[in-house]
Amino acid sequence: MSWNTILGQERQKEVLRRAIRLGRLPNAYLFLGPEGVGKEATALEVAKVLNCDSPDALPNAEACGVCESCQKFAELMHPNLELVFPVEGILLENISESSSKREKQEEAFEKLKQLYEEKRRNPYFTMQMDKAMGVLTKQVELLIDKSVFKPSGGKKRVFIISQAERMNQESANKLLKLLEEPPPYVLFILISSRPEQLLPTIVSRCQPIRFSSLSAEQIAEGLKQYSPQSEANIAFAARFARGNFFYAQKLLHDSTLKERRDKALNLLRFALSPHKQLELMREIESLAKQSRDEQSQTLTSMLLFFQDVVRTRETHSHAPILNEDVSDAVKRFAQNFPMADLEQASREIEQARYALSRNANPTLTLMALVIRLKSLILNEVSTHH
């Protein structure tokens, strides 16, 4: 990993490199912006530069990539790096060899190992555990304990907190105390795609750096370096990913994308057909049993279908539609529902995606979403109350 391998974000990289060159780093940064655009990759690069053994690293704000320190960063094993993200609480418990929980803890450690392996391969990967309840108080307490120790090699300790909005009140308050009196040798980098859910007092202690969505062109360029796929597949994944490079990488190797899109269209068809309520319930139950990732992709497919409908409505728009293979369905939808409030419908889908990512009950979330979508598409008066 180097600055060059981080897609786009030229202004953000320059701001950070200038701060490193001038030795004017704040105590804490808050990296804001959409998911999958390189916030964590950039945070790791900052940490690597600050700890590089090369005498040119700080004056040029460029890590050498070959010294012992850089090698340890490539393995995410550097003693000056702390990478905090939502984990399962069982990982932090002291469990005896004979305890019945021992097996569960070992399973959780195995999952953790796999997450680190994926992160080493791909800095755009966001580490999180399915059963995690957020960034736990115990994790912040461990950071507080570690903040007492000076960095090895007289460099800088870097504490990266991924998905910082997932701290609960107690862990956020404990972190706030640390941010109020930060050790001079520690740099905190908080990362969030939902900063409005952070404590305002924490936000005010951090210097914000806002990351931009990546364009389909930037993503396509990045994908070409990662994968020898056809231009058509790369273009489809780049557009489908909606600015999220990690998601685009996954999509490129996902042969079930169109199935998910068809599932999304079935949900819409059944929701809008008065005589298809039984089929609708079956479709919801089937989707509720799938993984969160599959649920998220199905809802994303629906969002992109709506975007195509909006493009088709705007008769002067010659933008290519994503779902070209079902262009007839796109046109029919645009003609049959000219008053559909697709902007609000898209917001409802985004909220449902977020709720599902936070372990909301999938059946109830999807049922509530379908009811709202039906109302917004048919433009019923009740939606304006």
pLDDT one-digit tens code per residue, 299-350: 988 988 898 898 888 765 566 677 777 888 888 898 889 889 999 999 999 9
pLDDT surpassing 50 at residue 254 = yes
pLDDT, residue 255, reads 67
**Among candidate residues 291, 64, 28, 308, the one with its CA nearest the CA of residue 184:** 28
Q: So what's the pLDDT on residue 380?
A: 60
What's the rounded Cα separation, in Å, for the pair 126 and 177? 27
Contact 40, 47 (CB under 8 A): no
CATH architecture of the domain 3-210 equals 3-Layer(aba) Sandwich (3.40)
Burial of residue 4 (number of CB atoms within 10 Å: 0-12, 13-18, 19+)? exposed
pLDDT at 210: 93
Q: Taking each helix axis as running N to C, give the angle between helix 362-377 and helix 257-272, from 0 to 180 degrees, rounded to the nearest 10.
A: 60
Distances in whole angstroms, Cα of residue 372 to Cα of each of 192, 265, 284, 352: 28, 16, 14, 11
DSSP 149: S
pTM: 0.71
Residue 381 has pLDDT above 60, yes or no: no
- Residue from 160, 120, 222 nearest 31 by CA: 160
pLDDT tier at 216, thresholds 50, 70, 90: confident
Chain segment 334-346, per-residue pLDDT in tens: 888 988 999 999 9
Cα distance between residue 305 and residue 262, in whole Å: 10
- Span of 221-225, 307-311, 359-363, 381-385 with lowest mean pLDDT: 381-385
- The Cα-based distances of 233 to 74, 129, 327, 369 in angstroms read 30, 30, 18, 30
Q: What is the rounded average pLDDT of the residues 142-154?
A: 84
Residue type for position 325: D
Whether the per-residue pLDDT at 253 is higher than 80: the answer is no
CATH label, 256-384, candidates 3.90.75, 2.60.120, 2.30.30, 1.20.272: 1.20.272
How far apart are alpha carbons 284 and 273 in whole angstroms? 15
| Element (DSSP H or E) covering residue 210 | strand 207-210
> Which residues are 135's β-sheet partners?
167
d(CA 331, CA 63): 52
42-56: average pLDDT: 91
Q: Give the domain ranges of the chain.
A: 3-210, 215-254, 256-384
Residue recorded with tokens 């949900």: 267
| Maximum alpha-carbon separation in the chain | 73
pLDDT digits over 84-119, tens only? Answer: 888 877 777 777 666 777 778 788 888 888 888 888
Query: How far apart are the C-alpha atoms of 124 and 367, rounded to whole Å?
Result: 32
